[in-house]
Amino acid sequence: MFNFHYRLERYSIRFAILVVIVASIGGFVEIAPLFTIDETVEPAPDMRVYTPLELAGRNIYIREGCYACHSQMIRSLRDEVERYGPYSLAAESQYDHPMLWGSKRTGPDLARVGGKYSDYWHVVHMNNPRDVVPESVMPSYRWLGRNELEPADFDLHLRAQQKVGVPYTDEMVANAINDLSGQANPDGKRAEGVLARYGEATNIRDFDGDPTKVTELDALIAYLQILGRLTEVAHQNPVMKKLEGPK
Amino acid sequence: MGIEERDRYTGHMTTGHDWNGIKELNTKVPKAVWIFLFISFVFSVICWILWPAWPLGETYTRGILGTDQQKRVDQVVERAIEDRAIWTGRIMDMDYGEILSDQSLMQIARENGGRLFLDNCAACHGKKAEGGPGFPALKDTAWLWGGTPEIISESIRVGINSGHEDSRASEMLAFGRDQLLPRDEILTVIDYVQSLSPVSADQEPKQDRNAAGKALFLENCASCHGENAKGDVETGAPDLTDDFWIYGGTRAAIFATVWNGRKGHMPAWQGRLSDVDRKILTLFLLDLSGMDVDGRSNN
């Protein structure tokens, strides 16, 4: 057996190819089951997709590198569950391309931050985190409230998500640009369409407190306020219900 | 195996590589390494048997221990809830007055309430409940909706302008932006409001405008804030005669409030914090602001 390995090592290219093959078996064994085993992603029939505004916010979250300091993954550990809420389920990030679980927590986990604080708090916090959390080391993101969102090609963003398996309808894609501004203008005529397409529970608000324009801050807060709220499946676990109390 | 050459000094085989007469030895791997390698193989085989390991198409080997991290945390959390039941049960069963006079329970409420407060409330209301611009302080005795335990716990349950079905609702109109009052009348009524508050004691009240300011106040503001400007806990309208200001008591801050209106938002905590957690937080706040069950200050 050892002589066999000795012989393998004597021819470097052949040996390198064999190393790649053996190593890829490990990857295959880890990755392939996610596609073949149904129970890796829990059923979540009530789950909705991100609205265009939330998706734009998610893009900003990625652009600004928020994931480098904030995770979106509550692990199945007692202290995490008691602090943040029900542990994260795979289904909850099934429409995330790419997922933003993260692995580093300089700031707190954000998987269940949706609805935890007011929009106004987020506005103040993005403008200067130290105004509300004096010991915070988070940078200020003042430009988000000044930068207007550029919606020109947003239907293509939805189309791309559709191609990787997110169930956006063609109607959602066709109305993406209207829905983008509609969600941030509760009194506008486009808001109705957002509710019709994404559900009555969708947050339709002027998120950043500036009704004159739709900014990147509107999008980011819309995204943060939906984190952990796309589906109720994680809250339906009887033990988590006991922890959180009845609705 | 083309090379079969044994080094005559060490007794090891050589690799056949030769640098100017110096030959590389093919030294044997030490026994200890083989032993550890073997042990780790055996260890991994045992792990495959005990825990979930190998994928098998549409299913996988579950392991004979039946371990599931999600079920495990469910059990641990449930056991923790049961462990706490000794005192959570007492807190749920007793009324606020009894708990406030029970020092051992209050100690528990202080410890757990402090932790809950930091995790959930401190982001807005401040670590020491000192409040901040736009977020009321909770350590004082000025309560927008009333400071009795029942009212505080209800405020935590339903929130303010929160979207909860029983949410408290309160909104101050944008008198300037929506052109309900012209600019000079707003300034006049601000003079009047500032003259009521002890913060502006050092400022000279403009007596000549106060009559006009009072008339404007009675006409536009008194329906919520009351004729004596003491506020109204039914509508959540703040007392304007004390020195607590949510959005700031400077002339500029009051002008911004009157011009643009205010609509504060507090999330509802029902469904995020259990009944007993919310009761503990209420006790924590009563303790912090030194209040008794009737919402009166003991300090």
- The answer to whether residues A77 and A110 belong to one domain is yes
Tell me chain A's radius of gyration from C-alpha atoms: 22
Q: What is the pLDDT of residue B204?
A: 57
Q: Is A120 on the interface with B (CB under 8 A)?
A: yes
B275: nearest CA in chain A?
A245
Task: Name the residue facing B271 among A132, A133, A244 (closest C-beta).
Answer: A244
Neighboring chain B residues of A186 at a CB cutoff of 8 Å: none
Closest listed residue to residue B137, CA positions, set B224, B235, B249, B250: B249
| End-to-end CA separation in angstroms for chain B | 93
B270: nearest CA in chain A?
A247
> Under 8 Å CB-to-CB from B230, ≥6 apart: which residues?
B239, B240, B241
Q: Are B121 and B247 in contact (CB under 8 A)?
A: no
Q: Is A81 on the interface with B (CB under 8 A)?
A: yes
- The answer to whether residues A122 and A234 belong to one domain is yes
Best to test chain A binding among B15, B34, B77 (most A CBs inside 10 Å): B77
B260: nearest CA in chain A?
A209
Would you state the structure tokens that stand for residue A71, as one six-digit string? 């995770």
- The answer to whether residues A124 and A28 belong to one domain is no
Task: Name the residue facing A116 among B55, B76, B267 (closest C-beta).
Answer: B267
Peptide bond into B267 cis (omega under 30): no
- The answer to whether residues A10 and A127 belong to one domain is no
Confirm whether A47 is domain-assigned: no
A114: nearest CA in chain B?
B267
If one compares B6 and A89, the residue with the highest pLDDT of the two is: A89
Distance, in Å, from the CA atom of A228 to the CA atom of A205, rounded to the nearest integer, reads 18
Q: Report the percent of chain A where pLDDT is more than 70.
A: 99
B13 among the known binding-site residues? Answer: no
Q: What is the pLDDT of residue B9?
A: 87
Min Cα separation A247/chain B (Å): 4
Q: Are B275 and B87 in contact (CB under 8 A)?
A: no
Count how many Cα atoms sit within 13 Å of the Cα of residue A93 in the half-sphere of its side chain. Answer: 20
Distance, in Å, from the CA atom of A242 to the CA atom of A237, rounded to the nearest integer, reads 9
> Under 8 Å CB-to-CB from B93, ≥6 apart: which residues?
none
- Look at A239 and B77 and tell me if their CB atoms are within 8 Å: yes
Min Cα separation A115/chain B (Å): 7
Confirm whether A159 is domain-assigned: yes
Is residue A66 pLDDT above 90, yes or no?
A: yes
* CA angle in degrees (0–180, nearest 5) for A234-A186-A210: 100
Min Cα separation A219/chain B (Å): 19
Confirm whether A7 is domain-assigned: yes
Task: Name the residue facing A78 among B55, B77, B119 (closest C-beta).
Answer: B77
Task: Determine whether B198 is exposed, middle or buried from the number of CB atoms within 10 Å of its CB (0-12, 13-18, 19+).
Answer: exposed
Helices B149-158, B275-288: inter-axial angle, 10-degree rounding: 130
Overall size of chain A counted in residues: 247
B68: nearest CA in chain A?
A76
Residue type at A148 in one-letter notation? E
Distance, in Å, from the CA atom of A197 to the CA atom of A176, rounded to the nearest integer, reads 10
Total count of domains within chain A: 2
Closest listed residue to residue B5, CA positions, set B20, B26, B22: B26
Best to test chain A binding among B37, B38, B73 (most A CBs inside 10 Å): B73
Helices B69-93, B275-288: inter-axial angle, 10-degree rounding: 50
- The answer to whether residues A124 and A157 belong to one domain is yes
Q: Is A208 on the interface with B (CB under 8 A)?
A: no
- The answer to whether residues A15 and A97 belong to one domain is no
- Look at B1 and A120 and tell me if their CB atoms are within 8 Å: no
Distance, in Å, from the CA atom of B88 to the CA atom of A242, rounded to the nearest integer, reads 13
Closest listed residue to residue B279, CA positions, set B135, B119, B109: B109
Min Cα separation B215/chain A (Å): 32
Confirm whether A45 is domain-assigned: no
Q: Is B21 on the interface with A (CB under 8 A)?
A: no
The two beta strands, B22-26 and B13-19, are antiparallel
Distance, in Å, from the CA atom of A206 to the CA atom of A183, rounded to the nearest integer, reads 8
Closest listed residue to residue A147, CA positions, set A212, A215, A210: A215
B1 among the known binding-site residues? Answer: no
| End-to-end CA separation in angstroms for chain A | 64
The mean of the pLDDT values for chain A is: 92
Q: Which residues of A183-207 are buried (b: 16+ CB within 10 A; e: fewer)?
A: bbbeebebbebbeebbeeebbbbbb
Closest listed residue to residue A185, CA positions, set A216, A208, A164: A208
- Look at A243 and B81 and tell me if their CB atoms are within 8 Å: yes
CATH number at residue A205: 1.10.760.10
Q: What is the pLDDT of residues A179-226, one digit of tens each?
A: 999 999 998 899 999 999 999 989 999 999 888 899 999 999 999 999
Q: Is B117 on the interface with A (CB under 8 A)?
A: no
- The answer to whether residues A121 and A30 belong to one domain is no
Neighboring chain B residues of A247 at a CB cutoff of 8 Å: 270-271
ipTM: 0.86
Closest listed residue to residue A226, CA positions, set A47, A43, A62: A47
Overall size of chain B counted in residues: 299
> Rounded to whole angstroms, what are the CA distances from B276 to A51, A242, A244, B158?
36, 11, 10, 15
Confirm whether A123 is domain-assigned: yes
Confirm whether A21 is domain-assigned: yes
**Ramachandran angles phi, psi of B25, nearest 5°:** -85, 145
Q: What is the pLDDT of residue B1?
A: 46
Would you state the structure tokens that stand for residue B47, as one six-digit string? 């792990």
A140: DSSP letter = P
DSSP class per residue in A203-226: --S-TTS-TT--BHHHHHHHHHTT
Domains in chain B (CATH in brackets) are 14-61 (no CATH), 70-166+266-289 (1.10.760.10), 183-260 (1.10.760.10)
- The answer to whether residues A154 and A220 belong to one domain is yes
- The answer to whether residues A22 and A64 belong to one domain is no
Best to test chain A binding among B78, B124, B125, B257 (most A CBs inside 10 Å): B124
> Rounded to whole angstroms, what are the CA distances from B79 to A31, A78, A175?
34, 10, 49
Query: Chain B, 250-289: which have a CB under 8 Å from a chain A CB?
Result: 264-267, 270-278
Q: What is the pLDDT of residues A115-174, one digit of tens each?
A: 999 999 999 999 999 999 999 999 999 999 999 998 888 999 999 999 999 999 999 999
Min Cα separation B206/chain A (Å): 34
Domain region containing A68: 52-244
- Look at B55 and A29 and tell me if their CB atoms are within 8 Å: yes
Q: What is the pLDDT of residue B55?
A: 85
Distance, in Å, from the CA atom of B57 to the CA atom of A25, rounded to the nearest integer, reads 15
Neighboring chain A residues of B30 at a CB cutoff of 8 Å: none
Question: Within 10 A of B220 (CB to CB), how many other CB atoms are there?
Answer: 18
- The answer to whether residues A2 and A90 belong to one domain is no
Q: What is the pLDDT of residues A96-130, one digit of tens each?
A: 999 999 989 999 999 999 999 999 999 999 999 99
B47 among the known binding-site residues? Answer: no
Min Cα separation B144/chain A (Å): 18
- The answer to whether residues A8 and A124 belong to one domain is no
CB contacts < 8 Å between A and B, how many?
Answer: 97
- Look at A117 and B55 and tell me if their CB atoms are within 8 Å: no
> Under 8 Å CB-to-CB from A230, ≥6 apart: which residues?
A47, A48, A49, A50, A92, A95
Distance, in Å, from the CA atom of B188 to the CA atom of B116, rounded to the nearest integer, reads 44
Provide the residue-wise pLDDT of chain B in tens; the chain has 299 residues.
456 788 888 888 888 888 898 888 888 889 999 999 999 999 999 999 999 888 888 888 889 998 889 999 999 999 999 999 999 999 999 999 999 999 999 999 999 999 999 999 999 999 999 988 889 999 887 889 988 999 999 999 999 999 899 999 999 999 999 999 999 999 999 988 888 876 555 555 556 667 888 999 999 999 999 998 999 988 899 999 888 889 988 899 999 999 999 999 999 999 999 999 999 999 999 999 887 777 777 65
- The answer to whether residues A31 and A70 belong to one domain is no
Q: Are B186 and B256 in contact (CB under 8 A)?
A: no
Confirm whether A46 is domain-assigned: no
